[in-house]
């Protein structure tokens, strides 16, 4: 353990599927707000901030993971909470306009969900987001947020399990120090 150090590899957020999906949600939300909301409307800024917070907190959690599992878990939860807030903004958009949210297993929702199993960039969704009416785009974004939230829920459960089995930095530091001292204590 001491040869590798007690700070594990960390970062690599761009490889996280949750981050990739959160980036799509952010890009789609920026487009949605610019085209369907009044820039002076408070919701405009709030939705973009919530989408950005979801993405950026995944990034920050990944970077902090080497030295603080607690911070990693907290920031991943903040990302999840921010996306839940954004989800409600899209639901509000539909509700106040009298538009329907797609049922979970509607053909439209299943199409977006299926598209999401293969694609991890906004480019794959651009045609659907940038050419459809606002109610359709809001529903697409709702589907994407649900996918991202599902991934974050899985990630949070995995982080909890990892903490219970591996511990945190303080435990690794103590273990590394004891391991380093062990040969010295065995000398006659």
Q: pLDDT digits over 9-25, tens only? A: 555 789 999 999 999 99
What's the pLDDT score for residue 110? 96
- Long-range contacts from 35-40, C-beta under 8 angstroms, 24+ separation: 35/134, 36/93, 36/134, 36/137
What's the pLDDT score for residue 186? 63
At 53-66, the pLDDT tens digits run 999 999 999 988 76
Give the C-alpha separation, 135 to 118, whole Å.
Answer: 24
The dihedrals phi and psi of 76, each to the nearest 5 degrees, come to: -65, -40
At 54-107, the pLDDT tens digits run 999 999 999 887 667 888 999 999 999 999 999 999 999 999 999 999 999 999
Mean pLDDT of the chain: 87
**Mean pLDDT score, 139-154:** 97
């Amino acid at each position: 353990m001491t040869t590798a150090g007690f700070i594990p590899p960390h970062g690599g957020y761009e490889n996280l599927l949750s981050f990739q999906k959160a980036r799509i949600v952010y890009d789609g939300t920026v487009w949605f707000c610019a085209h369907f909301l009044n820039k002076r409307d408070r919701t405009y800024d709030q939705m973009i901030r919530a989408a950005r917070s979801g993405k950026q907190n995944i990034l920050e959690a990944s970077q902090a993971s080497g030295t603080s599992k607690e911070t990693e878990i907290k920031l991943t939860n903040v990302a999840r909470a921010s996306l839940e807030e954004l989800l409600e903004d899209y639901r509000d958009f539909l509700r106040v306009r009298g538009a329907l949210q797609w049922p979970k297993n509607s053909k439209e929702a299943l199409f977006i969900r299926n598209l999401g199993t293969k694609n991890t960039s906004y480019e794959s969704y651009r045609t659907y987001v940038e050419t459809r009416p606002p109610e359709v785009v809001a529903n697409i974004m709702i589907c994407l947020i649900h996918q991202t939230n599902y991934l974050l829920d899985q990630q949070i459960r995995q982080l909890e399990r990892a903490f219970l089995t591996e511990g945190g930095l303080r435990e690794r530091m103590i273990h590394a120090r004891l391991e380093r001292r062990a040969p010295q204590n065995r000398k006659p």
